[in-house]
């Protein structure tokens, strides 16, 4: 039940997994790779002979050679019986792991000394595998994702005008039939124009796409001619990079385009010039009827105008709006009760079809600068002095510790003076008001356009009704599990609750990282054969309950009362859900 990770051990485990994936990867090796592989095995034999272990090593090398030419069959899923036979198997696995490590080390050395070989290892079409467990929503995407660049993995990136320079094709032309080569190049160029675009030295290449009931995942690489800009690294060790909010997506099952808001990428740097990442678009963002909402707001504002309400006036507030319309509390949903328009008359209920096409128009790529390169101006001293003078004139302390002792009138004045100070600051530095600006961010300018055909893959997707609700029916209605995530569907119009999901071991399920809602969890390597769902009072959970789990001494406290036992006692409602899974 321990939550603290041994990062060195975790790193070694991931390295071992990566080594095994490399040795068992299912892609055809070019001649350079085959030569490098043979050289690696040859060196292992030489090293083993020098240590008088040639016989054992030869068996190991033969085994590795067989592995390198066979398709990976995956884990059998069988459990150890604890017999002498299983102990012998453990020893064999341990010896094989050492062999894999040695082989991979030599194999890597050959890659480094033979750049031509390294360039032929396919990246495009295998970004999910390259990122591996570094993804927030990680897992075996090869079983579900569609490769977008199967026929272009060795092609050079297209230029902005669609032209292509391919030195390898010109070399192969010397030994192949000219007409065949030209036809192959034509096909590659056509595909490459679809999925790889270069603008001002920055090449964006789409790699794979996967769409399930909960989200669409699109993997890509970003390659720059010059060194990639220095980027702020998040607490999860990932570069903070996103697509500009001017970027748009258009789905053929919807009218109009939608902006890509909060479109952060989940990925990592592969080298000084190449970033690989995944864009995750939640299904709720793929089903927003923007055209319908625009029309509704037009009709709604016209209704307000008839009632003498100007939403653009400086003194507009929803409290005044509710009072004017005779509503206890304003909401768009309740407008029909006072003679206003109904949302359902304008906004359609949209569902993602099994097959669809999307047009991506990526305008810019934006990254956050490291702290030591952030040049955001400090608040000038004269503005600070002016704020302090206003506070002193009204007998208000500027000490944060005294804030709670201020009267409501003094708090209102402090808020007014503070707001005035910042308004003057933004008048001097208007760019600083933007979240991403020239002070704190870098931008790769461009206009990369793509057309992608998507086929929704719902295999291994399970939906279950749970009804973890209060007496009014508010709470968690259902959960949906895909191969990589579990999402809770909630009904909570007044935002009274916080829903919690625990794995089979009673630990809080992890979020998937960037730009994901509180109700979506990453499966990762968790045991989700059983999950526990609890509906908690929002403030009680935030102020008391979650601190119990995240406290430094939780492991000690759990010996007498686990977090699950605490939620069993304090939650408004709860249940357990069982899945038929090997996890």
Stated as kind and residue range, the H or E segment containing 504 is none
**Please, what is the angle between helix 84-113 and helix 7-24, to 10°?**
80
DSSP 8-state class, residue 318: H
- Is residue 510 within 8 Å of 525, Cβ to Cβ? no
Residue 183 tokens, joined: 């036809």
> To which H or E segment does residue 459 belong?
none
Q: Which residues contact 366 (CB under 8 A, 6 or more apart)?
A: 241, 242, 243, 244, 436, 441, 442, 443, 444
What phi and psi, each to the nearest 5 degrees, are found at residue 48?
Answer: -70, -40
Q: What b-and-e string marks burial along 327-344, b requiring 16 or more CB atoms within 10 Å of the CB? A: beebeeeebeeeebbebe
> Could you give the CA distance from residue 416 to residue 423 in angstroms, rounded to a whole number?
10
Whether the Cβ atoms of residue 391 and residue 397 lie closer than 8 Å to each other: yes
Q: Which DSSP helix (H) or strand (E) runs through 86?
A: helix 84-113
Q: Are 335 and 303 in contact (CB under 8 A)?
A: yes
Per-residue model confidence (pLDDT) at position 314: 78
Question: CA–CA separation, 571 vs 562, rounded Å?
Answer: 14
Residue written as token pair 């079809």: 353
What is the enclosing helix (H) or strand (E) of 311? none
- Locate 333 and state its tokens: 């949903």
What pLDDT is recorded for position 518?
72
Question: HEC profile for 26-71?
Answer: CCCCCHHHHHHHHHHHHHHHHHHHHCCCHHHHHHHHHHHHHHHHCC
Q: What pLDDT score does 185 carry?
A: 40
DSSP 551: S
Q: Which residues pair with 521 in a beta bridge?
A: 486
Q: What is the CA radius of gyration of the chain?
A: 29
pLDDT of residue 181: 37
Task: Enter the pTM of the model.
Answer: 0.69
SS (H, E, C) 95-135: HHHHHHHHHHHHHHHHHHHCHHHHHCCCCCCCHHHHHHHHC
Tell me the C-alpha distance between 304 and 298, whole Å: 10
Q: What is the pLDDT of residue 401?
A: 62
208/145 Cα distance (integer angstroms)? 6
Taking the chain (583 residues) in runs of 10, the rounded mean pLDDT of each run is 35 41 42 48 46 41 39 35 33 36 41 40 78 92 85 38 36 37 40 78 96 95 96 93 94 91 93 96 91 93 91 84 90 92 94 96 96 96 95 85 81 93 95 92 96 93 95 95 94 92 96 72 95 97 95 95 97 94 53
Cα–Cα distance measured from residue 131 to residue 278, given in angstroms and rounded to the nearest whole number:
9
The residue with tokens 């097959």 is: 355
* Distance of alpha carbon 87 from alpha carbon 69, whole angstroms: 28
The C-alpha atoms of residue 14 and residue 503 are separated, in whole angstroms, by: 22
Give the bridge partners for 165, in sequence order.
Answer: none
Contact between 115 and 258 (Cβ < 8 Å): no
Residues 564, 566, 572, 573: is their CA dihedral positive or negative? positive
Q: What pLDDT was estimated at residue 106?
A: 41
**CA 319-324-325 angle, 5° bins:** 100
To 5 degrees, how large is the angle CA 189–CA 190–CA 192?
Answer: 60
**Per-residue pLDDT, 261:** 86
Q: Could you tell me the CA-to-CA distances from 310 to 108, 317, 561 in Å, in that order?
A: 68, 10, 56
What tokens appear for 439 in the block?
Answer: 């002070």
């Amino acid at each position: 039940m321990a939550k603290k990770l041994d990062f060195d051990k975790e790193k070694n485990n991931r390295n071992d997994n990566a080594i095994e994936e490399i040795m068992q990867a299912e892609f055809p090796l070019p001649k350079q790779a085959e030569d490098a592989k043979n050289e690696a095995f040859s060196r292992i034999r030489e090293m083993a002979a020098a240590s008088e272990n040639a016989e054992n090593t030869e068996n190991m090398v033969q085994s590795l050679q067989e592995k390198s030419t066979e398709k990976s069959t995956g884990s059998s899923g069988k459990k150890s019986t604890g017999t002498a036979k299983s102990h012998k198997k453990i020893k064999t696995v341990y010896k094989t792991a050492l062999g894999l490590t040695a082989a991979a080390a030599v194999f890597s050395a050959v890659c480094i000394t033979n750049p031509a070989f390294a360039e032929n290892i396919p990246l495009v079409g295998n970004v999910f595998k390259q990122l591996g467990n570094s993804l927030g929503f990680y897992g075996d995407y090869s079983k579900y994702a569609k490769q977008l660049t199967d026929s272009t993995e060795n092609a050079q990136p297209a230029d902005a005008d669609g032209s292509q320079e391919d030195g390898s094709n010109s070399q192969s032309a010397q030994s192949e039939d000219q007409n065949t080569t030209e036809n192959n190049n034509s096909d590659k160029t056509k595909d490459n124009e679809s999925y790889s675009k270069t603008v001002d030295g920055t090449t964006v290449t789409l790699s794979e796409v996967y769409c399930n009931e909960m989200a669409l995942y699109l993997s890509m690489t970003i390659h720059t001619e010059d060194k990639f800009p220095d980027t702020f690294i998040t607490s999860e060790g990932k570069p903070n990079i996103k697509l500009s909010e001017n970027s748009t997506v258009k789905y053929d099952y919807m009218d109009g385009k939608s902006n890509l808001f909060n479109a952060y990428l989940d990925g990592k740097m592969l080298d000084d010039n190449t970033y690989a990442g995944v864009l995750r678009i939640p299904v709720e963002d793929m089903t927003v009827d923007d055209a319908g909402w625009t029309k509704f707001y037009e009709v709604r504002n016209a209704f307000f105008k008839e009632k003498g309400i100007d939403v653009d006036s400086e003194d507009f507030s929803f409290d005044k709006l509710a009072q004017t319309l005779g509503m206890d509390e304003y909401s768009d949903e309740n407008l029909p009760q006072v003679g206003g328009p109904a949302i359902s008359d304008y906004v359609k209920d949209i569902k993602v079809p099994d097959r669809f096409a999307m047009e991506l128009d990526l305008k810019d790529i934006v990254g956050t600068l490291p702290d030591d390169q952030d040049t955001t101006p400090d608040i000038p001293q004269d503005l600070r002095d002016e704020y302090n003078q206003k506070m002193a004139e009204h007998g208000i302390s500027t000490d944060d510790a005294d804030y709670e002792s201020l009267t409501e009138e003094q708090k209102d004045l402090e808020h007014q003076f503070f707001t005035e100070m910042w308004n003057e600051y933004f008048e001097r530095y208007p760019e600083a008001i933007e979240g991403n600006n020239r002070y704190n961010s870098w931008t790769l300018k461009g206009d990369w356009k793509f057309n992608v055909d998507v086929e929704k893959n719902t295999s291994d997707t399970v939906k279950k009704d749970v009804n973890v609700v209060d007496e009014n029916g508010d709470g968690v209605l259902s959960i949906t599990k895909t191969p990589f995530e579990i999402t809770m569907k909630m009904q909570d119009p007044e935002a009274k609750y916080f829903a919690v999901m625990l794995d089979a071991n009673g630990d809080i399920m992890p979020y998937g990282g960037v730009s994901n809602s509180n109700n979506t969890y990453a499966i990762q390597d968790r045991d989700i054969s059983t999950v526990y769902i609890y509906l908690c009072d929002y403030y009680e959970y935030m102020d008391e309950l979650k601190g119990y789990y995240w406290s430094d001494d939780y492991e000690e406290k759990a010996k007498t009362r686990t977090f699950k036992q605490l939620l069993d006692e304090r939650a408004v409602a709860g249940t357990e859900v069982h899945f038929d899974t090997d996890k």
